Amino acid sequence: MDYMDNIRNKLALLPDLAGCYLMKNEEGTIIYVGKAKVLKNRVRSYFTGSHNGKTQRLVADIRDFEYIVTASNMEALILECNLIKKHMPRYNVQLKDDKTFPYIKITNEAHPRLEVTRRVIKDKAKYFGPYPNAYAAHQTKKLLDRMYPLRKCGVMPKEVCLYYHMGQCLAPCEKKVPKSSYEEITQSIAAFLSGGHDAIKKDLQKKMQEAAEELYFERAKELRDQILHIEALMEKQNINTPDTKDRDVFGYAVDKGWMCVQILYMRQGKMIQRHSSAFPFYGEAYSDFMSYVTQYYSDNPAVPQEILLPDFLPESGLVNELKADEKVEVNVSIKDAIGTEELQESPEEAAERAAAAEKAAAAGIVDAFGGAAALQEWLGVKVLVPQRGLKKQMVGMACQNGRVALDEKFRLIERDEERTSGAALGLGQSLGLESLSRIEAFDNSNIQGTNPVSAMVVFIDGKPARKEYRKYKVRTVKGPDDYETMREVIRRRYERVLKEDLPMPDLIVVDGGKGQISAAIDILENELGLFIPVCGLVKDVKHKTAQLLVGDPPEPVVLARDSQEFYLLQRIQDEVHRFAITFHREQRGKSMITSKLDSIPGIGEKRRKLLLKHFGSLKKIKEAGIEDFRPLSIGDKLARQILEALKDEEPV
């Protein structure tokens, strides 16, 4: 039976209930997990009507599905989160870094201390965060370490350390510290980390004035520096609310198949941090956004007092996925979901919101208010979808940040195109070439003729194609002869290109001037019958790219030093030089190790390889004991000779 027949039969049996569905590919692998308010409507919508490009890719891979019925939207929300974490479906939004957010922790010990941690466990410690990045967390901890004298050491020392003398530790290693002192300090730290910066700042200012009046100027200076650090930490705030609630404000934006989720962290009514995540999405935008939010809180112990979520966005793509004649009764209690104080919609806004909710219900999707209510029931905190007022502005600010982040992402891609494929196109035009897609560049490396090597890098449309890089040990050239080295390597490369029918380059770049260009052209045209343009890059006295030479005889091509074409040539020359130097160092290091071991009587090629394989390096051989050589069937006498010979050698 055709897979579509099987799907049609299953679609006819879908229930009018809430639940989760699991889409599978032809191998039976789960590729997408979703939740639905009405399973029958939502799952059917994948196989009827038109979809955007991203959803089409998902639908094209679906060969079967199964579903799990739940008793409520909340259960569907939690089940979806668990299924995504278990199966890691290819097309789902996955919060891959949800366990990597850093937190500041006050440990639950007799003598507590501050830590920055990424592991959140049930150890009765107090966790604050999450912070958007480790730098923000460490800077905050650094400030708190200066302000509060909790112990800094991981293991209690036997005597007082420098922190005690600096007034940054109570020295529990030296004297008994009452529990009340720790409680007072931890409460102050908790107040600070919860957003009570102003109260702490005022207290420090009072202490600073007292210290100055008593002529303790050094102490006053320390307190002033702490105040300055707090001000520097807080000057990033750009929004305040009249109350002092802790809130997480979510916003999202979608464009060109990508979604950006922004989280604004409000603590004590002040915005203290922001977190941004951008990723491709394949399902319905709002459902994938809610999936992200659910995953975020599934492992996040620092749940705020209130969570603000956005409503459906016009660009979510939902309208395009629904048939015009689908009309389903909407049963959403808005007052229950968002609270009476938030329900201040204009008639036009109410109509627009109702239309969005109706379309969501038609597709069986959990709507914005239903999703908020489910999240509220699960987390046990207030979850709102504000419609007017300051909270609406805060959500709008988060969404606007998402749009700006996506716009910046796409502009960066455009700039990257300009400096890569655009630069390659411009360089081709400057050289008189019809097209310039593939560039192969060569560089030679040796030290006074020892260990001569060469390297080739490939750039396609202005971008490095690292899988096609090649290394060459020079076989026929003795001494530092750069021209003959170039002839050998060009011959070996393009004999292989002809023999194996590999892609031909549009341009060959050699590191050097007229001599290297002439050597390469001679081999290509007179030996191999290939007529590929060759150019040379000449460096100045500071070893920087200075001039481009082309032709036979070579003539300079003038390029503006600030042009993208010139920058592309610089990147190519730097990359091939780096690759060649790295390879030469590897060969030189191996050669030095080989010579040191070969100079020892009784050590031939077989034993040398055995020693290096067993110990890993010359340094490890040098540090070994007599008994360490016995498993290699090397007697004590020879082992002593090896160690004696290597005793005065410096490690490579």
Say if residue 323's pLDDT is above 70.
no
Which residues, 6+ apart, have CB-to-CB distance to 214 below 8 Å? none
The verdict on residue 269 lying in a domain is yes
Task: Say if residue 255 is in the same domain as residue 403.
Answer: yes
Task: Say if residue 78 is in the same domain as residue 148.
Answer: no
At residue 361 the predicted structure's pLDDT band, cuts being 50, 70 and 90, is: low
Q: Which range of residues forms the domain containing residue 20?
A: 3-87
Task: Say if residue 637 is in the same domain as residue 602.
Answer: yes
What does the alpha-carbon distance between residue 635 and residue 624 come to, in Å, rounded to a whole number?
Answer: 14
Are the C-beta atoms of residues 624 and 643 closer than 8 Å to each other? yes
Are the C-beta atoms of residues 586 and 593 closer than 8 Å to each other? no
Task: Say if residue 583 is in the same domain as residue 631.
Answer: no
Among the candidates 35, 54, 87, a domain finishes at 87
Q: Indicate the helix (H) or strand (E) that contains 239.
A: none
pLDDT tens for each residue of 193-243: 766 666 777 777 888 888 888 888 887 887 787 777 666 655 544 445 566
Count Cβ atoms within 10 A of the Cβ of residue 80 and give its class: 0-12 exposed, 13-18 middle, 19 or more buried. Answer: buried
CATH code of the domain containing 34: 3.40.1440.10
Task: Say if residue 289 is in the same domain as residue 395.
Answer: yes
226-to-137, 201, 216, 555 alpha-carbon distances in Å: 17, 9, 16, 64
Count Cβ atoms within 10 A of the Cβ of residue 89 and give its class: 0-12 exposed, 13-18 middle, 19 or more buried. Answer: buried
Helix (H, G, I), strand (E, B) or coil at 644: helix
Say if residue 599's pLDDT is above 70.
no
> How crowded is residue 579: how many other Cβ atoms within 10 Å of its Cβ?
22
Tell me the pLDDT of the chain averaged across its residues: 78
Among the candidates 57, 87, 117, a domain finishes at 87
Helix (H, G, I), strand (E, B) or coil at 558: coil
Amino acid sitting at position 140? T
- The two beta strands, 19-24 and 30-36, are antiparallel
Are the C-beta atoms of residues 14 and 43 closer than 8 Å to each other? yes
What does the alpha-carbon distance between residue 23 and residue 29 come to, in Å, rounded to a whole number?
Answer: 8
pTM > 0.85: no
Task: Say if residue 265 is in the same domain as residue 158.
Answer: no
The verdict on residue 94 lying in a domain is no
The verdict on residue 423 lying in a domain is no
Are the C-beta atoms of residues 264 and 398 closer than 8 Å to each other? yes
The verdict on residue 331 lying in a domain is no
CATH code of the domain containing 487: 3.30.420.340
Task: Say if residue 441 is in the same domain as residue 580.
Answer: yes
- The two beta strands, 103-106 and 114-117, are antiparallel
Among the candidates 235, 264, 297, a domain finishes at 235
Task: Say if residue 259 is in the same domain as residue 362.
Answer: yes
The verdict on residue 82 lying in a domain is yes
Task: Say if residue 55 is in the same domain as residue 131.
Answer: no
Pick the more confident residue, 553 or 67. Answer: 67
Task: Say if residue 559 is in the same domain as residue 597.
Answer: no
Could you tell me what percent of the chain has a pLDDT over 90? 13
pLDDT of 529 reads 92
CATH code of the domain containing 614: 1.10.150.20
The verdict on residue 148 lying in a domain is yes
Are the C-beta atoms of residues 538 and 513 closer than 8 Å to each other? yes
Pick the more confident residue, 392 or 551. Answer: 392
Q: What b-and-e string marks burial along 155-183, b requiring 16 or more CB atoms within 10 Å of the CB?
A: eeeeeebebbeeebbbbbbeeebeeeebe
In the beta sheet, which residues pair with residue 207? none
Q: Among 223, 313, 303, which residue's Cα sits nearest to residue 259?
A: 313
∠ CA 157-158-161, rounded to 5°: 60
The total of structural domains in the chain comes to 5
Average pLDDT over residues 330-354: 44
Say if residue 430's pLDDT is above 50.
yes
Task: Say if residue 147 is in the same domain as residue 163.
Answer: yes
What does the alpha-carbon distance between residue 270 and residue 238 come to, in Å, rounded to a whole number?
Answer: 8
Say if residue 457's pLDDT is above 90.
yes
Report which DSSP code applies to 240.
Answer: B
> How crowded is residue 243: how many other Cβ atoms within 10 Å of its Cβ?
11
- Reply yes or no: is the peptide bond before residue 554 cis, omega within 30 of 0: no
Q: Among 390, 325, 314, 391, which residue's Cα sits nearest to residue 356?
A: 314
Quickly tell me which residue has 């089940």 as its tokens: 79
Are the C-beta atoms of residues 330 and 357 closer than 8 Å to each other? yes
Q: Estimate the crossing angle of helix 197-213 against helix 217-234, to 10 degrees.
A: 160
The verdict on residue 432 lying in a domain is no
489-to-250, 455, 492, 493, 637 alpha-carbon distances in Å: 58, 9, 5, 6, 46
Sheet holding 126-128, edge to edge: 114-117, 103-106, 126-128
Average pLDDT over residues 18-46: 89
pLDDT tens for each residue of 436-450: 999 999 988 865 556
Could you tell me what percent of the chain has a pLDDT over 70? 79
Alpha helices in 281-346 (DSSP H): 285-298, 318-321, 334-338
Q: Among 552, 451, 440, 537, which residue's Cα sits nearest to residue 496?
A: 440
Say if residue 458's pLDDT is above 90.
yes
Report which DSSP code applies to 268.
Answer: T
Q: Among 218, 383, 221, 366, which residue's Cα sits nearest to residue 309?
A: 383
Helix (H, G, I), strand (E, B) or coil at 18: coil
Q: How far is CA 298 from the centre of its chain?
A: 21
Q: Indicate the helix (H) or strand (E) that contains 550.
A: strand 545-550
The verdict on residue 22 lying in a domain is yes
Report which DSSP code applies to 219.
Answer: H
DSSP output for 171-193: -TTTS---HHHHHHHHHHHHHHH
What does the alpha-carbon distance between residue 468 and residue 482 come to, in Å, rounded to a whole number?
Answer: 23
Q: List strand residue ranges (DSSP E) for 366-432, in order.
A: 382-384
pLDDT of 389 reads 84
Average pLDDT over residues 103-117: 85
Helix (H, G, I), strand (E, B) or coil at 34: strand
Q: List strand residue ranges (DSSP E) for 174-305, in order.
A: 247-255, 258-267, 270-280
**Tokens encoding 266:** 């409000």
322-to-236, 284, 363, 364, 479 alpha-carbon distances in Å: 43, 11, 7, 11, 75
> Lowest-pLDDT range, 129-133, 319-323, 407-411?
319-323
What does the alpha-carbon distance between residue 180 and residue 68 come to, in Å, rounded to a whole number?
Answer: 53
pLDDT tens for each residue of 499-549: 999 999 999 999 888 888 999 999 999 999 999 999 988 877 666 777 888
Q: How far is CA 502 from the centre of its chain?
A: 35
Average pLDDT over residues 422-449: 83
pLDDT tens for each residue of 272-315: 777 888 888 888 888 889 888 988 888 676 788 899 999 876 54
Helix (H, G, I), strand (E, B) or coil at 78: helix
What does the alpha-carbon distance between residue 534 and residue 8 come to, in Å, rounded to a whole number?
Answer: 61
**Tokens encoding 294:** 């659910």
Task: Say if residue 508 is in the same domain as residue 399.
Answer: no
